[in-house]
Amino acid sequence: MNNPWRFFIVVESLLFILALWQIIHNPGLAVLLVLGILSVVYAMKKVHRSNFNNFQLVLGIILILIGVMNSPAFWLMLVFAVLFVGLKGVEIAGVDITQRAPWRKKQMIMVETTNVEPKSGRRFKRPWFANERIGSNVYEWNDINIDILSGDTIVDLGNTLLPKDDSIIIIRKGFGRTRILVPLGVAVMLEHSTFYGNVNFEEEKYHLKNESLKVYSNDFDTNNRRLKIITNTLVGDLEVIRV
């Protein structure tokens, strides 16, 4: 999806519908929910509420909570919301909430090194459905080749050093938004095919419908450090952003 929060809203809406279905098929919970709603509506309509009306309002809210909290789908909604916001929300946004914390004003960063890994024969698995961010930390550059069915993808090249040669990024996906953050001083060639989507490149915007696009930055023929981006998407937007 173009926005990860749309996925969150869709899942929560489906769970909400499931919760209503569970409540409706439980006569006791349905009666409690209806009585609670009627009590709250009746109490809220009163311009000058008496103590009895306030009691009605509180009682109605309690009845609604009892009816809703006895639905397993309601607890699934809460669990999914906590997991999504707690584990994925900050990651998708790409924001470090502790960046401006007082204890980080005088921070010493130790660079950790690892043994050189063989470049041939490396195998790693990528999920089919995922929102992925590549480049959150400093990393050694390797050409990128991604295949994914659905999800938003962010490739941040600001935390790596591109060699003075041709570097390649290949992304093939079904649905989702793609953003590639390219440092200044790197020439870019973009070749993109899509069934439907928008492309933002070098402050130009292109709207594609079952079309292919191939564009170059102005310094591509003269710059030694060049990046070739090849992407294929069924539905989704692509952005190449200078950082």
Segment 129-152 shows an average pLDDT of 80
Model confidence pLDDT, tens digit, residues 32-89: 888 888 888 888 887 777 777 788 888 888 888 888 888 888 888 888 888 877 766 5
Alpha-carbon gap, residue 213 to 207, rounded angstroms: 10
What is the pLDDT at residue 158?
A: 82
Residue 133 token pair: 């961010």
Query: Which are the contacts of 202, defined by CB distance < 8 A and separation ≥ 6?
Result: 188, 215, 217, 218, 240
Alpha-carbon gap, residue 91 to 235, rounded angstroms: 23
User: How is residue 165 annotated by DSSP?
Assistant: S
Alpha-carbon gap, residue 239 to 200, rounded angstroms: 5
Alpha-carbon gap, residue 95 to 136, rounded angstroms: 10
pLDDT at 237 over 50: yes
CA distances from 200 to 190, 206, 210, 237 (A): 11, 7, 17, 8
Alpha-carbon gap, residue 231 to 213, rounded angstroms: 10
Model confidence pLDDT, tens digit, residues 172-187: 998 889 999 998 889 9
- Higher-confidence position of 53 and 99: 53
| Residue indicated by tokens 């992304």 | 171
Show me where the domains of the chain are located.
4-93, 128-242
What is the pLDDT at residue 22?
A: 85
Question: SS3 for 210?
Answer: strand
Alpha-carbon gap, residue 222 to 215, rounded angstroms: 16
What is the pLDDT at residue 58?
A: 87
